[in-house]
Chains A and B, each alone.
Chain A
Amino acid sequence: KAGVTQTPRYLIKTRGQQVTLSCSPISGHRSVSWYQQTPGQGLQFLFEYFSETQRNKGNFPGRFSGRQFSNSRSEMNVSTLELGDSALYLCASSSGQLGGGELFFGEGSRLTVL
């Protein structure tokens, strides 16, 4: 079955702009999580959506937001971009069961802020 698809794979923005990233989960999966990966901070949890509702949120400023659609596809938005937002943004797909369910990751969207 198809894996997790993230678009775009690469993008370059300038400070102050905003960006929207998209994630299509594995068919049948209802949970989508987002992670930010930077050399300094490593992999950090942004938020998780399940059945169109944000179920969990990490410690990021309000400039970072997301949503999930009825088909489980998710988008995340970063407004008023800062240089420090340059990162690899990874999306994870899972069935959503609150236990040991596996998370499957996409290849990420690499954002560069100039």
Chain B
Amino acid sequence: AQKVTQAQTEISVVEKEDVTLDCVYETRDTTYYLFWYKQPPSGELVFLIRRNSFDEQNEISGRYSWNFQKSTSSFNFTITASQVVDSAVYFCALKEEGAQKLVFGQGTRLTINP
């Protein structure tokens, strides 16, 4: 069965600090896809990144970076030099090959204080 665990329910840091959001997943498939979404107060889920199971390269996009490790079934997300605008709920999600269904973690509420 598929499962995504985001153990951190809430994180609060001061602006400019670095922060890492953890994500651990479970799947029996060898081909799968991992996602991160951001949910601001408006409710919309904003796509941040997709990773497939065959690509373990880390990715950096501006202040955002992602660390994918199949050995530990983790797909962690780091924000460097956090800003108040980064405050939101962040979701990690898993999609298996052959299914158009996302399994989400419970989300991590990130608050960046000025």
Task: List the one stretch of B18-26, B67-75, B102-110 in contact with chain A.
Answer: B102-110
Interchain nearest-CB distance for B37 vs A (Å)? 7
Question: Contact at A45–B101, with CB atoms within 8 Å?
Answer: yes
Interface size band for B: 20 to 34
Residues of chain B whose beta carbon lies under 8 Å from any beta carbon of chain A: 33, 35, 37, 42-47, 50, 52, 91, 95, 97-107
B42 adjacent to A56 (CB under 8 Å): no
- How many residues does chain A have at the interface if contact means C-beta atoms less than 8 Å apart? 29
Chain A residues with CB under 8 Å of B33's CB are 99-100
**Interface SS, A side:** strand
Secondary structure call for the B interface: loop
Bound together, the chains give a CA A45 to CA B103 distance in angstroms of 7
Measured CA separation A42–B35 after assembly (Å): 16
A102-B43 contact, Cβ under 8 Å, with A31-B100, A42-B107, A50-B100: no
A:83-100 near B, CB below 8 Å:
88, 90, 92, 94, 96, 98-100
